[in-house]
A and B are shown apart, each in its own frame.
Chain A
């Protein structure tokens, strides 16, 4: 997507910055319990790092994050969140009532981990969905 000729600066800087963005995004996703942040915000940052790759490196970035990967990530994230919600129902709880998820564990612990996994799945989902939207708008999805 770079026009006419490739810029060395753009290439080098994007390679250097993308891993930093992704590490900070993982921190935001997994640290939702203690700081402002969580799945939605971290997922947007993960998507932003991929979009930076797309803008800076064009077609080369499909090798790192293929065009169909976004949609798969979004679908798998939504499905995993849904299954996480059904898990407590097997043991007498309501949908998404994490306290009932795995009976031998304490309800407090379970709710802590339930929130954690919900945030992680939301992060994947938002990540994939936003990259899929970007790809659809710029290149028309797959072809």
Chain B
């Protein structure tokens, strides 16, 4: 016993044991159970075979939810990777005075709760002509818009909320990446007469690639699993014409609101597969796997 306890070989396993147990208990267990439930009608306590999955294929609302989530993810990637990278390199520039203040200001929104932020945004984008956004466009002579009842404007509100909240966090990631780039590279480039723009595209962008890959991966996952923002913006899970419905929102509606747990599990498993496939493709394309193999 004592031998085992002080054994150098066993030590690593003992140290990783809590993590392995957590994964088994709280991750693999529920997933396995979820797969099992996805073949059942939970309320009637019967197995229904592939019925839940065949229903997904003919469910227009499910496809609408997938489309919304994918559209949201794509736009967040377009907005939340290049711009934070650019801002981070500005903040890192020697010409920038007091970058600390800007870093804190950018980061502040990430500290607020989505619930609070979502509620404030809902009020900002209210339908009445006294809401902030309607007053703002009123300054330019436009008549009030029903922001959250119209597909495009609602999407704008969702993206604005997302950018407002996550730009600062991504800036911090990129800043850490940029600061790990040796400064002699920039000095050498400067001596060779490279402009700031050339330095950015030829040194900064390629060398922060590991950070970009990381941000890309978590952004894809975060985009596809977005739920709370939409839930708060529409004060519930039911947006007009389902313009704010996401895959997770649909899962919640079916499983929790309609108590169709089996169908919800089928939706969840589908989401898992979609996210896995996308992430695999993306990791492969960015060469993360091959690097490990070297």
To the question of whether A and B form a pair in one complex, the answer is no
